[in-house]
Amino acid sequence: MKKLILSLCVVLAFGACKEENKQQAQEKPVIKIGATLPLTGNLSYIGIGSKNALDMLMEKWANTDTKYKYEIVYENDMLKPQQAAINTHKFIDVDKSKIVVSVFGVVDRPVDDIANQKKVISLSCSHGKDTFPEYGLNVGSQNEEVYNAALKELKKRNAKTVALLGSNGAVCDALLGYAAEQFPKEGIEVVFDERYNIGLTDYRLSIQKMEQKSPDYYVIFGVEPMNSVFTKQYYEITGKNNLLSLGSFANISLKVFPPIEGVLSVYMLRSPEFEKEYFEKYHERVETCSSHLYDGLDMIIKAYENTAPKAGEKVPSNADVLQKVKSLKVWNGASGLMKIEQNGIVRPSVDMRFYHDGQWVKVEE
C-alpha cells in the first residue's frame, strides 16, 4: 500500500512539474512601452488622439501570435518638458520600458536625451526635427518636405515677401530657421522673423507693426495657443486671410480653430483606410501625429518580432531592433508611404490644405 501511495505521489509530482514547465514555456517575455502625452491642456486632443491610435495598434498585436507580449503605460505630460522628463525616468527606472513614445518638439528633446543615456528607444513625432541621438526615431514631417510644400504654394500665389512667426522653442526655431535661410534663395524676402514667448495671448501691437510692411503672407509655426489666437486677432484687425502655417494650423482642434476661410496649412497625410477605421472606433477625426506614432511603434514591434536575441538573452537588444527598423527603408501603413533613413528620420508625405467650411481641404495642383 505504501509503495502504491509513493508511486502515486511520484506520478502526481512529475505531472505537476511537467505542467509547470509547460506553463513557463508558454509565458512570453514582456516588452514594456511608455508613452508620455499631453492628455490634458490646450493640446489634449493631440495626446488623446495619439493614445487612441496606439491603443488600436496594441489591440492589433494582441490578436497576433507573437514571440513577445507588449504592454503600454501612459502618463500625462501636459506638453511640459519637466513633466515629460519625470515620466520618462519613471518609464525606464520603474516600469523597465524598452521604448518611450512622445509627441511634439516641446517635450521630445529631453525625452530623447534621457532615453539615449539608458539605451532605450525614443520614438517621437515632431515637425522639423533633423538631429537625433543614437536611439532616437522620429516620424514627424521634416524641414525640407514642409518648406517645399510651402514654397510651391507661395510661388503659385506670386508671393514676394513673407513674415515668419513662431514661438520661442527648439522645434519652431528649427523649422522657421530653415525657412528663413531658404526663402531668399528663391526670391522671397523675409521682412519679419519674430518669436513669441509660449503662452502669450496678445499679438495686436505686433500685428500692427508688421502690417506696416504689408508682407504678402504670414508664415506661422507656433505652440498653441499662439497659432489660433494670432489667427483670430489678425483677422479681427485686418480682415485678411493671407496666413500659411508650416503644419501647426492642422494641429488645432476644429472645435477651436478660428473659422477663417482660405487660410493655408501644410498637412501630414494618413491613409483613407486608417481614417475610416479610426472614425468607426472613436467617432473623431484622426489628429496630427496619431497615424504616424501608430506606424512608428508598429515598425518597432515588427522589428522586435524579427530580430534574434543575442546568445543568452531572452529579447533582442534595442540597438539591434533599431537597426532592423532602419533596414526596412520604406513603410506603407496608416500614414501612407514613409521613407526610413539610417539616421533615424522617418519621412512621411505632406501636402498643402486650405481651411473651408470646418475642414482642411487639399489644394489642387
Is residue 174 scored above 90 in pLDDT? Answer: no
**For 143-246, which CATH superfamily applies?**
Response regulator (3.40.50.2300)
pLDDT value, residue 22: 46
pLDDT at 39: 96
30 vs 365: which has the higher pLDDT: 30
Residue pLDDT, tens place only, 310-335: 998 999 999 999 999 999 999 999 99
Read off the pLDDT of residues 125-137 as tens digits, 9 standing for 90 and up.
987 676 778 999 9
3-class secondary structure for the chain? CHHHHHHHHHHHHHHHHHHHHHHHHHCCCEEEEEEEECCCCCCHHHHHHHHHHHHHHHHHHHCCCCCCEEEEEEEECCCCHHHHHHHHHHHHHHCCCCEEEEECHHHHHHHHHHHHHCCCEEEEECCCCCCCCCCEEECCCCHHHHHHHHHHHHHHCCCCEEEEEEECCHHHHHHHHHHHHHHHHHCCEEEEEEEECCCCCCCHHHHHHHHCCCCCEEEEECCCCHHHHHHHHHHHHHCCCCEEECCCHHHCCCCCCCCCCCCEEEEECCCHHHHHHHHHHHCCCCCCCHHHHHHHHHHHHHHHHCCCCCCCCCCCCHHHHHHHHHHHCEEEECCEEEEECCCCEEECCEEEEEEECCEEEECCC
- Mean pLDDT, the chain, rounded, equals 90
State the pLDDT at residue 25.
41
Query: In terms of CATH, what superfamily is 30-141+271-348?
Result: Response regulator (3.40.50.2300)
pLDDT for 268: 86
Predicted confidence (pLDDT) per residue in 88-98, tens digit: 999 999 999 99
Per-residue pLDDT reduced to its tens digit, 178-234 = 999 999 999 999 999 999 998 899 999 999 999 999 999 999 999 888 999 999 999
Per-residue pLDDT, 340: 92
Reply yes or no on whether the pLDDT at 27 is more than 50: yes
**At 2, is the pLDDT very low, low, confident or very high (cuts 50, 70, 90)?**
low
Q: Cite the residue boundaries of each domain of the chain with CATH code 3.40.50.2300.
A: 30-141+271-348, 143-246
pLDDT, residue 9, reads 53
Residue 59 has pLDDT above 60, yes or no: yes
